[in-house]
Amino acid sequence: MPRSAASRPIRLSETVGSLPDSTDAATASDEPRRFWREAFRGVRAETERRAGLLSAEDQVVQSMPDASPTKWHRAHVTWFFEEFLLRPFAPAYKPFDERFAYLFNSYYVSAGPRQARPQRGLITRPGAAEVADYRAHVDHAVATLIETTNDFAAIAPIVEIGLHHEQQHQELLLTDILHAFSLNATHPAYDPHWRWPKSDAASVAAVESVGGVHRIGHDTDGFCFDNERPAHEVLLAPVRLSRALVTNGEWLAFMADGGYTTPTLWLSDGFAAAEAERWRAPGYWRQIDGAWFAMTLGGLRPVDPAQPVCHVSYYEADAFARWAGKHLPSEAEWEVAARAGALADAFGKVWQWTRSAYSPYPGYRATAGALGEYNGKFMVNQMVLRGSSLATPDGHARASYRNFFYPTARWQFSGLRLAQFDG
């Protein structure tokens, strides 16, 4: 992701289990409070750093129903802390503006009515400056609550999930503004100095065949979302995953060989989508005077054959795999290989499509209450991606993380690696 001297990694590695058993603020150690104060300030500052490269006009645009304005992201993550932390645990808290609950709720039906998602770009007011005031109001209240509450053990998990939630929106902030900029004929750059992150291929161990019984899912005391649990055993047939991500150069060969026009390579729904949307190249690619260019966070750049292909849908990834005589890995195969250190660029370049449908793990139970709407109710008709991308904040990636999108989605930083069964 873009860097500046003001950015620094925020690693939410402390666990709620390590907090003092006592809920008495007078006797509890100040160390956990200090940690969460600093983590909160750091994550909130990173959101503002990312938004700070955008004008007020940039922050209000909504380029499609699946995207949200930058200003809305900034306000929504603030509403999250107000709704789930301050209202229940800070009795003296005075909301900045009661009307904001309607404007900036997302999909939490249990929390009340909300602005329709495709109409978030119509929220011209409050303006970007007033959203900054809203954030400051909530920031002060949260910091005060962390410092003074007598029920610290109860609020710490909500602070933690709120920070991870905000980090998710930090990534969406970049994916959504890139989509908007891709529709601008002047090809604006989010960050003119942006560059692809370096590859970690040199540090990857030799590829091993993945097979047998393995345990996947989150099984440590650190943070995870509820969809990463429970950890469980899976039986894998022997399979080899490619160390490297599929590159632009390989994708150009797929295109030249009629990959987008050969129906036998495609799932039926995928070919219908490709025809309807006139897909002939990855998202944000365009041909100018016979040369291919791609819209990036740094503006319009020539397609680099050595870089990972990006902004492809599940349908395109599946068709490419079939063209290559291979297949996409399952999410279990990916996780086992990633834990073994056998994948180059598993994190920090592009999310990688798997062939696994997004469904609950055996024994899954959603979090109780409105926060239970976070993941479980989306477990249908979507596909799992693994890893992380160049836009994922530091400290937000792990081997068990399950991202998920509809198979037509292309505006995310999504790519692929291939797999092949042994024998």
The Cα-based distances of 328 to 55, 236, 264, 342 in angstroms read: 40, 14, 17, 16
Tally DSSP H helices, then E strands, for the chain.
10, 10
Report CA dihedral (37, 43, 47, 50) to the nearest 10 degrees.
130
Question: Rounded to two decimals, what is the model's pTM?
Answer: 0.91
Give me the mean pLDDT over the 83-109 stretch: 96
Q: How far apart are CA 242 and CA 345, in angstroms?
A: 11
In whole angstroms, what is the distance from residue 54 CA to residue 173 CA? 11
| pLDDT, position 207 | 65
- For residue 115, how many other CB atoms are within 10 A of its CB? 15
In this prediction, residues 93-97 reach a mean pLDDT of 97
In this prediction, residue 376 carries a pLDDT of: 85
Calculate the alpha carbon distances from 255 to 203, 251, 258 in Å: 31, 6, 5
What does the angle CA 192 – CA 196 – CA 202 come to, to the nearest 5 degrees? 155
Rounded distance between C-alpha atoms, residue 332 and residue 84, angstroms:
33
Return the pLDDT at 270.
98
Please answer whether residues 259 and 319 qualify as being in contact, where contact means their C-beta atoms are separated by less than 8 angstroms: yes
- Give residue limits of the domains in the chain: 16-182, 201-421
Q: What is the CATH number of domain 201-421?
A: 3.90.1580.10
Pick from 254, 218, 217: nearest CA to 234: 217
Torsion of CA 148, 154, 159, 161, to 10 degrees: 180
Mean pLDDT value across residues 2-19: 31
414, exposed or middle or buried, with CB in 10 Å at 0-12, 13-18, 19+?
buried
Q: What is the pLDDT of residue 367?
A: 83
Q: Which of 217, 245, 198 is CA-nearest to residue 346?
A: 245
Cα of 133 vs its chain's centroid, Å? 26
Question: Using CA atoms, how far apart are residues 304 and 251, in angstroms rounded to an integer?
Answer: 11
Burial of 19: CB neighbours in 10 Å, binned 0-12, 13-18, 19+: buried
d(CA 160, CA 40): 9
Cβ contacts of residue 332 below 8 Å, gap of 6+? 214, 216, 234, 236, 356
In which region does residue 348 sit, left (phi positive, over 0), alpha (psi from -120 to 50) or beta (all else)?
Answer: left
CA 159 – CA 60 distance, rounded (Å): 27
Q: Show the DSSP H helices in 232-341 as ranges.
A: 248-256, 268-277, 314-323, 331-339
Fold of 16-182: Four Helix Bundle (Hemerythrin (Met), subunit A) (1.20.120)
How many other CB atoms are found less than 10 A from the CB of residue 376? 14
Going from the C-alpha of 46 to that of each of 2, 23, 40, 265, the distances in angstroms are: 11, 30, 10, 42
Over 70: is that where the pLDDT of 78 sits? yes
Place 279 in a pLDDT band, splitting at 50, 70 and 90: very high
What is the reported pLDDT for 38? 97
Residue in the block written with tokens 């390579």: 265
Q: Residue 199 has what pLDDT?
A: 87
Under a CB-based contact definition with an 8 Å cutoff, are residues 75 and 123 in contact?
Answer: no
Side chain identity, residue 406: Y
Distance CA 123, CA 398 (A): 35
Predicted pLDDT of residue 92: 96
Q: Where are the beta strands (DSSP E) in 274-329?
A: 285-288, 291-296, 299-302
According to DSSP, the β-strands at 414-415 and 351-357 are parallel
Quick: pLDDT tens for 138-163.
Answer: 999 999 999 999 999 999 999 999 99
**How does pLDDT run across 196-243, given as a tens digit for each residue?**
999 887 666 656 689 999 999 999 989 999 999 999 999 999 999 999
Per-residue model confidence (pLDDT) at position 372:
80
Mean pLDDT value of segment 402-410:
98
Exposed, middle or buried, 91 (CB in 10 Å: 0-12/13-18/19+)?
A: exposed
CB count in 10 Å sphere of residue 38:
11
Rounded mean pLDDT of the chain? Answer: 91
- Between the alpha carbon of residue 340 and those of residues 15, 206, 209, 334, the distances in Å are 24, 10, 11, 10
- Residue 22's pLDDT is what? 35
Tokens 């009661």, residue located: 98
Q: pLDDT of 108-144, one tens digit each?
A: 998 999 999 999 999 999 999 999 999 999 999 999 9
Give the mean pLDDT of 339-368: 95
